[in-house]
Amino acid sequence: MSRHETSPTTVQPASNHRPNACCFCWCCCCSCSWNEDRERAWRASRETKLETIPNCEACAKPTPEEVRGWAQSFDKLMKSPAGRNIFREFLRTEYSEENMLFWLACEELKNECNKHTIDEKARMIYEDYISILSPKEVSLDSRVREVINRKMQEPSSHTFDDAQLQIYTLMHRDSYPRFLNSAIYKSLLQSVSRSSSES
């Protein structure tokens, strides 16, 4: 098997005799031609993949109580499809929408039972949000990345649990306080309060 045919999930034995050890690196940290080929193919398919991401989740209009509840806890916000939509809109203004997209993709993966579908979705999540070649790469520490790289040898519906928790915590601590003070949230709050007082 030539290096161009090697699957990134192939487990290679540790050896000091491989001159092109970097070419089998799952994290794509080298600049050899094998990775350049992969990057070209990935860029060509990226537009198609992006089209499959729904712009927003379908949901009913939130009640004033629900909107006010989002300020009480981040969990309430994230459990509400309408809350996730408005928060995602805010994240887009901060150029960090990939955090929500990654979290949603992990939730979807957790509901999968079919082994083939799990493998496919896990690979797509890796390429879209974990790979350093991706423009939508999420910010994860090296420990979590190592765990994911190990788990990708045999992906399961819980491969990204540690990473998902880390991104959830990041959104909670970093983006959520700014969201509550944002024009997006405040204008929604005013709009639902006004419509409820009129009815």
Going along the chain from its start, the domains and CATH numbers come out as: 64-198 (1.10.167.10)
Question: What pLDDT, on a 0 to 100 scale, did the predictor assign at position 193?
Answer: 84
- Torsion sign (Cα): 155, 161, 162, 167: positive
Question: What pLDDT, on a 0 to 100 scale, did the predictor assign at position 2?
Answer: 47
Q: Nearest Cα to 38, choosing from 132, 121, 107?
A: 132
pTM: 0.70
Question: What pLDDT, on a 0 to 100 scale, did the predictor assign at position 35?
Answer: 44
CA–chain centroid gap for 68, Å, is 27
pLDDT string in tens for the chain (199-residue length): 544 444 444 444 444 443 444 433 344 444 444 445 444 544 444 443 333 344 566 677 899 999 999 999 999 999 999 999 999 999 999 999 999 999 999 999 999 999 999 999 999 999 999 999 999 999 999 999 999 999 999 999 999 999 999 999 999 999 999 999 999 999 999 998 887 776 6
In whole angstroms, give the CA distance from residue 51 to residue 67: 29
In whole angstroms, give the CA distance from residue 135 to residue 142: 18
Give whole-number Cα distances, 56 to 103, 105, 109, 124, 135, in Å.
Answer: 14, 13, 18, 19, 20
DSSP H helices in 2-135: 33-51, 64-69, 74-79, 81-93, 97-110, 115-125
CA–chain centroid gap for 134, Å, is 11
- One-letter amino acid at 9 equals T
Question: What pLDDT, on a 0 to 100 scale, did the predictor assign at position 57?
Answer: 62
Question: What pLDDT, on a 0 to 100 scale, did the predictor assign at position 56?
Answer: 62
DSSP class of residue 186 equals: H
Q: Nearest Cα to 38, choosing from 72, 81, 4, 84?
A: 4
Q: Which residue has the tokens 């994290």?
A: 27
